[in-house]
Amino acid sequence: MQYQHTDATLALMKQAPVIPVMQVADAADALAQAKSLIGGGLTVLEITLRTKAALKSIEMLTRAFPEAIIGAGTVTDADQMEAAIDAGAAFLVSPGMTRRLLKAARKSPIPWLPGVATASEAMTLHEHGFRCMKFFPAEAAGGVKYLSSLAGPLQDLVFCPTGGINPEKAKAYLELSNVACVGGSWMVAPALINAGDYAAVERLAKEACALRAPV
């Protein structure tokens, strides 16, 4: 079985080595973050649905930056899926997967990157047709060593590790054969955003682009 969005999901995972995970406070914040990240070369952006401004920001950024791929993260139920799709999200990311959420995910018209933390969870999703998955929380769930150990028995799977990753750790993950990209928020750290240091955001985005994933 092959999930219908596998090719599209792989394509967006391989577009850049890092998918920034953005938490936005309002429209101005979303625009400033996105402009700096895209200016630095990161064009696949995940807006986490943890704030009231998230859905409106997805809608706005999709219009403002047609060259970018704007997705929704922290999707935990079917209602959020529908709301994110209505807002124009081009892909969805979840921290894990329940039976109800899996049922909704299989009907999603856009790519979905489901979260897994164990081999059993990954195998279960593979049985339902998923090849591309988010490994979360990456560092807490075993890090590079654990994910590397899955490459042998689960050769068909491709991961985007997220959670506790910095530039140094990102480089180590990207050297794994079963990793296409990583997710991270170090380039949009709260200290930088609160200080309005978007020049640093763009610089860190450029550095992240230099962390090339293996072909």
Q: Can you list the positions of beta strands (E) in the chain? A: 18-22, 44-48, 69-73, 92-93, 112-113, 115-116, 132-135, 158-161, 182-184
Least confident of 36-45, 142-151, 166-175, 204-213: 204-213
pTM comes to: 0.95
Q: Indicate the Cα dihedral angle 25, 27, 32, 36, nearest 10°.
A: 90
Catalytic residue, from 46, 139, 169, 202: name it.
Answer: 46
**Catalytic (active site) residue 46:** yes
Condensed to tens digits (0 to 9), the pLDDT of residues 105-147 reads 989 999 999 999 999 999 999 999 999 999 999 999 999 999 9
CB 169 within 8 A of CB 140: no
**Catalytic (active site) residue 134:** yes
Q: What is the pLDDT of residue 208?
A: 97
How far apart (Å, rounded) are the C-alpha atoms in residues 49 and 112?
A: 15
Catalytic residue, from 134, 139, 169, 202: name it.
Answer: 134
Residues in the chain: 215
Q: Domains in the chain, please, with CATH?
A: 6-209 (3.20.20.70)
